[in-house]
Structure 1
Amino acid sequence: MQAYILINCNTGSETSVIAELRKIPEIIEINGIWGKYDIFIKVKTPDPDGIELITKRLRNHPDITDTFTMHVLYGQGGSIDQES
């Protein structure tokens, strides 16, 4: 299972939230971003319930105020660097 998650957090807490998120092994990419959201993460887990568990963990973090989860649909697209 793979998902992209957009995160909003309390102003000024972005750096510390990113540092904490780096400790979660299922998060394979993390970036601070500008715009409506503060942080972008890519999550990959073999467990079908893994994305839900990570989302719950994020929502319980005291500095995270909002999340938006986008589940990947396999078979539609893929990485542009993959061979066809």
Structure 2
Amino acid sequence: MKAYILINAGLGVVSDVLDDLRKINEIKSANSTAGPYDIIAFMESSDLSSLGDTIVQKIQKVPGVSKTLTCIIIE
């Protein structure tokens, strides 16, 4: 499964959050953005269950992450 994760981070911590996200094996890229979200990350996982586990157990636990929105790629 592939997905884009839109992430909001606390003030002044976007660089630190990016560094931590890039250490997660399932995340293939992570970039800061302008607009309603601070970061967009692209990730791959073997199935929906592992995708959810990565988001809840790894991405949302990164210090500074305040909100995530997952967009699963269907085609």
Same fold (TM over 0.5): yes
Q: Does 1:15 align with 2:15?
A: yes
Query: How far is 1:50 from its partner?
Result: 1.9
1:71 is aligned to 2:72? yes
Identity level (%):
32
Structure 1 segments (4+ residues) deviating >3 Å = none
Q: Give unmatched runs, 5+ long, in structure 1.
A: 75-84
The 3-state SS of whatever aligns with 2:25 is: coil
Question: What TM-score do the two structures reach when normalised by structure 2?
Answer: 0.89
* Larger RCO of the pair (alpha carbons < 8 Å, separation 6+): 2
The alignment covers a number of residue pairs equal to 74
Distance, in Å, in 2 between the alignment partners of 1:20 and 1:60 is: 10
Give the Å deviation of 1:29. 1.2
AA partner of residue 15 (structure 2): T
Structure showing greater Rg: 1
Q: Shift in Å at residue 10 of structure 1?
A: 0.4
- Structure 1 length-normalised TM: 0.80
| The structure with more helix, counted as a fraction of residues | 2
- In the other structure, the counterpart of 1:42 is 42
Point out the more displaced range, 59-68 or 38-47: 59-68
